[in-house]
Amino acid sequence: MQLNNNVTEFILLGLTQDPIKKKIVFGTFLLFYLGMLLANFLIITTIKTSRTLESPMYFFLFHLSLSDTCFSTSVSPRMIVDALLKNTTISFNECIVQVFSFHFFGCLEIFILILMALDRYVAICKPLHYMTIMSQRVCGVLVAVAWVGSCVHSLVQVFLALSLPFCGPNVIDHYFCELQPLLQLACADTYVINLLLVSNSGTICTVSFVMLMFSYGVILRSLRNHSAEGRRKALSTCVSHIIVVILFFGPCIFTYTRPATTYPLDKMIAVFYTLGTPLLNPLIYTLRNAEVKNAMRKFWSRKLVSDDK
């Protein structure tokens, strides 16, 4: 419920107020966003159409690409369009929707990364029981739990946002609605809410990162008992996962495990995890995964042949 709120809209300052720089922002990030859409669309389409990519790892990769696309889309299109506008305002209700969608898909990505680590652990450390443990039904249930958990997390964020009283100042020094800059505008003591924010988002980021790095440490240690070829293949897959984890969780931990203060660097860090990471993820998985590359080549070969007929 919205309490003691005299503000009906917010003004987003964006990445810059300089007209020339805003045009550069528009052109640059439009290309990045379209590249992100194309790269993730290729992975989603390839996994959906390829019979060789039906293992649980690719099932989770499909959902990672889907969450990446939605996560970036919750923020990037508005940032790109706002770069062309002189007055960039967002209504209070739109702001709340953006808070929900941003945290929903961001949290979903965290949970999917955890499921991908679990999949690699079972595949490498329990290979004889892999297909039994990671059955299609189990994977479906795990992803469903991830979606529900993300929804719960996002509803908590929305509740925190709605509990903030806004009495006058409505200029957000950011390019999208996020709780950290919103806390700066509240006309009340936000210590408790900031504590809840850190305990919610900050704890999810930090605990998940520690769990993931520990699990990959266990996986890498267990590779000593595998053949040279098995070690090479497993190591290639795990290194890709570890790179993605570090790229995503580094900015996340920096943003959500500190007091409600804003720094000039915050915007660029936000750009990295809202647009940079979703663009890099499919490139990392594709470049380091021969199966995905081969499946993509086969998919486009079939596509070109069917188009020529």
Residue 252 has pLDDT above 90, yes or no: no
Side chain identity at 265, as an amino acid letter?
A: L
185-231: pLDDT as tens digits: 888 887 888 888 878 888 899 999 999 999 988 888 888 777 777 77
**Hunting for tokens 């990445």 — which residue is that?**
15
309 pLDDT exceeds 60? no
- Of 2-6, 85-89, 114-118, 239-243, the range with the highest mean pLDDT is 114-118
As beta bridge partners, residue 10 has 90
* Dihedral in degrees, nearest 10, Cα atoms 84, 32, 71, 245: -140
The full set of domains in the chain, from first to last, is 9-261+269-291 (1.20.1070.10)
Tokens of 61: 């990769």
Choice among 87-96, 120-129, 189-198 with the minimum mean pLDDT? 189-198
pLDDT of 3-29, one tens digit each? 456 778 899 988 888 989 999 999 999
DSSP state of 165: -
Q: Could you tell me the CA-to-CA distances from 9 to 73, 142, 168, 172, 287 in Å, in that order?
A: 21, 38, 11, 10, 44
Work out the average pLDDT over 292-305.
Answer: 73
CA distance 62 to 56: 10
- How far is residue 244's CA from residue 258's CA, in Å, rounded to a whole number? 23
pTM comes to: 0.89
- In this prediction, residues 296-305 reach a mean pLDDT of 70
Most confident of 171-185, 221-235, 278-292: 171-185
